[in-house]
Chain A
Amino acid sequence: MAKRDIIVVKGLHKYFGAIEALRGVDLTVAAGKVVVIVGPSGSGKSTLLRCINHLEVETQGEVWVDGQKLGHDPKQINEIRTEIGMVFQLFNLFPHLTALENITLAQRVVRNRSKEEAIDMGLKQLKRVGILEKADVHPDQLSGGQQQRVAIARALAMDPKIMLFDEPTSALDPEMIKEVLDVMLDLAQDGMTMLVVTHEMGFARAAADELIFMDEGLIVEQGSPLDIFNAPQEERTKLFLSQILQH
């Protein structure tokens, strides 16, 4: 498949009241690429991610996903969101549903799949993230790492073309980070287009095709992870990396 640009962001500005969270961001992501976004908190990384599936609506600028410009028609937004899986920092599993029901609900409601199809797909994705045995368990009976893996399975079951990860390991105990990163690495190797906001530099090194450093609502530097880790060009990047990598 020819490499096409599946996400195009042009001149993106986002205000929250008087605060300008994004100050003109341009970004292009080719299909199948893994892009990791790093930067200090408050730099606009999460806002950028959330603008791509319109959980936040841009104040100015354009977002194109798979050739479609995001507009204000709720139907169009719902359709585009179906193609974009999102994984949240706090998992956001539905606590009143079992792990499997978490995964089957949107398939049935949004994708109109039959119960059998949805369950087949749900079990397949649970197996993929390695917790098939927890299918009938409610989220409060799962560890943080397991919850996040169910959340990934839930997103994958919709057959998305893009996966967005918003600090997927930041709320996890250290011993659970690896099990989630392993699932993400696996996904990256399968050729999924991924946009990942994270502080896990190990993941960036191992999986990223491109690393983006953001600060104060702008993309400060972008390039291959190797180049940026070994020879950062900008002062702010150097400072950030020295702070985050020194231990």
Chain B
Amino acid sequence: MSDRGGPLQESASFGPIVSSRRDRLSLAVAQAPLWLIAIFLLAIWAGYFILTRQNFRQAFEFILIGLSATISTTLWSYSMALILGLIAGLGRISRNVIIKNLATLYVEIIRGIPILVLIFYIALVAVPSVVDSLQALGFWLISRDISFLGEPLSLLSNQAISMNTRAVIALSVTYGAFLAEIFRAGIQSIGRGQMEAARSLGMSYGEAMRYIILPQAIRNVLPALGNDFVAMVKDSSLVSVLAVRDITQVARLYAGRTFRFREAYTTLAVLYLTMTLVLSLIVRMIERRYERNG
């Protein structure tokens, strides 16, 4: 995780060799994150365009309508993926054979299918099947005179579950498998002695996990979790295939309606870039802080 320390950390060993001001200048240029500066300049340039050109501003204002859908889809999906991932990650290291295999099955199936296909499948096949089964269960329960449980289930219908909800379910299930592997790696990075010390004090497995292992494991994987959050912001664009009106879908609509492809997709790209850039910087700051604290 710390191998991306960047050029600044290597500079120490160059230190004594550099003497003249010119050398120092060229070294500074060589080491500066020029790509980052370039991206910022690009963003400023794009921002200037968006604000000054009528067509771009129109596209921007139209696309902004989708921002709340993008943000809420990402936040909901990521929160649920964290819970799913933690459960599956713990399952992966469980000593119970059934739990362990179920968790591994889930992770391996998800990782072997493209996200786009998963989104179609979960939203349009898995969710309807589950809803239909629950509905059938509801009617069966009513026929058995257990209507307090049966009635709410029988009222379920696929129309009632919006595409936004299905998109969140699909992204959560998908990312849950990715996060499970992160949690598993984090837990396994903690030495065996920690669990033994906790157990020798009389704590149960669950208590030891909760108070001793997970706090350390989660701290170790914070950068990886952050990276996956950034990745999810980008992958949330895939839910546009379900007609969820996120920024990608809205941009497509705008482009289709006006034929201003350049304005629509440039604005869209800059919007994603701004979000991911800001988030990446935050992730790096967190990473640095934890590296410093050891």
Contact = CB atoms under 8 A, between A and B. Distances in A.
Interface stretch (B20-28, B165-173, B192-200, B236-244): B192-200
Contact of B203 (A84, A92, A110, A140): A110
B290 to A, nearest CB: 12
A78 B212 contact: no
23 contacts: A53-B200, A55-B196, A78-B199, A79-B202, A81-B199, A81-B201, A82-B202, A84-B200, A86-B200, A88-B196, A90-B193, A92-B196, A94-B216, A96-B215, A96-B216, A106-B198, A106-B201, A110-B202, A110-B203, A111-B202, A155-B201, A158-B201, A158-B202
Interface string A47-78: 00000010100000000000000000010001
Interface residues of A, number: 27
B270 to A, nearest CB: 40
Interface of A: 53, 55, 74, 78-79, 81-82, 84-86, 88, 90, 92-96, 105-106, 109-111, 140, 151, 154-155, 158
Nearest to A50: B196
Contacts of B197: 86, 88, 92-94, 151
A94 B202 contact: no
Interface string B280-294: 000000000000001
Contacts of A94: 194, 197-198, 212, 216
Given A109-B211, A140-B294, A88 B203 contact: no
A204 B3 CA distance: 48
A47 B44 CA distance: 66
A109 B203 contact: yes
Contacts of A93: 197
Contacts, number: 60
A216 B196 CA distance: 25
A88 B193 contact: yes
A138 B64 CA distance: 48
Nearest to B294: A140
A81 B202 contact: yes
B200 A55 contact: yes
Given A88-B193, A109-B211, A82 B199 contact: no
B89 to A, nearest CB: 19
B111 interface: no
A172 to B, nearest CB: 16
Contacts of A78: 199, 202-204
A113 B90 CA distance: 29
A47 B211 CA distance: 27
B95 to A, nearest CB: 11
Contacts of B201: 81-82, 106, 110, 154-155, 158
Interface in B176-203: 191, 193-194, 196-203
Most chain B beta-carbon neighbours within 10 Å: one of A82, A88, A109, A111? A109
Nearest to A90: B193
A122 to B, nearest CB: 13
B43 to A, nearest CB: 38
A189 to B, nearest CB: 24
B260 interface: no
A179 to B, nearest CB: 20
Nearest to A107: B201
Contacts of A84: 200
Contacts of A95: 216
A198 B211 CA distance: 31
B262 interface: no
